[in-house]
Amino acid sequence: MLARGTIARRTLLASLALIGFPARAAGAGGVDGLAAIGARAGVRVGTAATAAMLASPDLAALAAGQCASLTPELGMKWAAIAPEAGRRDWREADAIAGFARAHRLGLRGHTLLWHRSVPDWARIEPGASWATVAAHVAETMRRYPADEWDVVNEPIEGDGLRASPFLAAFGPGYVARALDEAHDADPRARLFVNEYDLEYASDAQASRRAAMLRLVRTLRRGGVPIHGVGIQAHLAIGRAAFDPATLRDFLAALADEGLAIAITELDVKERDYVLPATARDAAVADHAARFLAVALAQPAVRALTCWGLSDRQSWLAVDDADRARFPGAWADGSSPGFNRGLPYDSDARAKPLRAAIAGALIERSNMGLTRRQR
């Protein structure tokens, strides 16, 4: 841990120099970036990134100063890389991998097989050839030697495997086949299955947790190369009840399988957009803090990635359903602004969620849950 901390500090200084920021722009005055705070807790802190984000000087400075890893938000998905048969578009992914390299950040590859990003030309349907998937996995992983890969994204639906094109084409063995393929392409990469809606206590999410456990147990027993499970953690205020013991037990069951756990896509969808910004920010931080207190108490959790840093660039929007909950609000032409579910506001100023993340990491350090002690 000490060595890692030293490297993180050097990385921070090097990255600030590279992007032309004086060293005091971040991490100065005794205020550590989340990367350094996370390193002391044995947690690699990261963010999802787009090329547009890294081209914005304020957000690039946050990524370099606060994070130890990047996940491409869009750039490495199959349909983005291979929009047409025989054509490849590596620009977005190259920009993110290049930034990570230049700033000595880790890279989480995201994602190889996802039902929402299958190019039409690949014709993943009954009778399809596995060679198409194998070629995609090998080509992408060899171009981007990421240390972790979300090999299969969102394979669960209801209480079993999702009725995805992959299931239809290749049957339930496709998850194991994809992991084997990924391991062959890059034996050093740590391979993950990544999933959403595993965090809350509802019956629907209980079924999803049970299905995930069945899946990883089958994979582990079969000797399939799976190293971890990604818990997306797209949190949402007021959508479902949160029960600490339920989450704690689920994470412990994953850890008992010998798996690492990564929190891969943390953000918070708000509910009460009519409240003053200070109250909204407090509600977001509070909601995330309850999740993080449980998640970071599990030693197998070694990574925490936010799905973006600034509300200015978040996939969470204030949509029509949100507005409909508050009839008459904003009739004067005002606006709820952005969903405020990321650690920095639209001007890249730290919000209470940033403090909640730092606090949860510090709490974990105080518990002695560093890699060195495990």
Q: Which is nearer to ligand XIL, 15 or 305 (CB)?
A: 305
**Which uninterrupted H or E stretch holds 288?**
helix 277-295
**Least Å distance between CB 122 and ligand XIL?**
18
Exposure class string for 198-236: b at 16+ Cβ within 10 A, else e: bbbebeebbbbbebbbebbeebeeeebbbbbbbbbbbbb
Closest chain position to ligand XIL (CB): 315
**Least Å distance between CB 307 and ligand XIL?**
6
* Of 3, 5, 27, residue with least CA distance to 15: 27
**Least Å distance between CB 151 and ligand XIL?**
12
Do residues 337 and 10 lie in contact, with contact meaning Cβ atoms separated by under 8 Å?
Answer: no
Q: Which is nearer to ligand XIL, 74 or 229 (CB)?
A: 74
Tell whether the torsion through CA atoms of 126, 130, 135 and 141 is positive or negative: positive
Do residues 266 and 43 lie in contact, with contact meaning Cβ atoms separated by under 8 Å?
Answer: no
Q: 3-state class of 118 per DSSP?
A: coil
Q: Which is nearer to ligand XIL, 15 or 153 (CB)?
A: 153
**Least Å distance between CB 150 and ligand XIL?**
7
Residues that bind ligand XIL (CB under 6 A): 73-74, 153, 196, 232, 265, 315
Q: Which is nearer to ligand XIL, 66 or 111 (CB)?
A: 111
Q: Which is nearer to ligand XIL, 199 or 265 (CB)?
A: 265
Query: Annotated catalytic sites, by residue?
Result: 154, 265
**Least Å distance between CB 108 and ligand XIL?**
11
Catalogue the long-range contacts made by 354-359 (C-beta closer than 8 Å, 24 or more residues apart): 354/34, 355/285, 356/285, 356/286, 356/288, 356/289, 356/292, 357/34, 357/45, 357/288, 357/292, 357/304, 357/306, 358/34, 358/37, 359/289
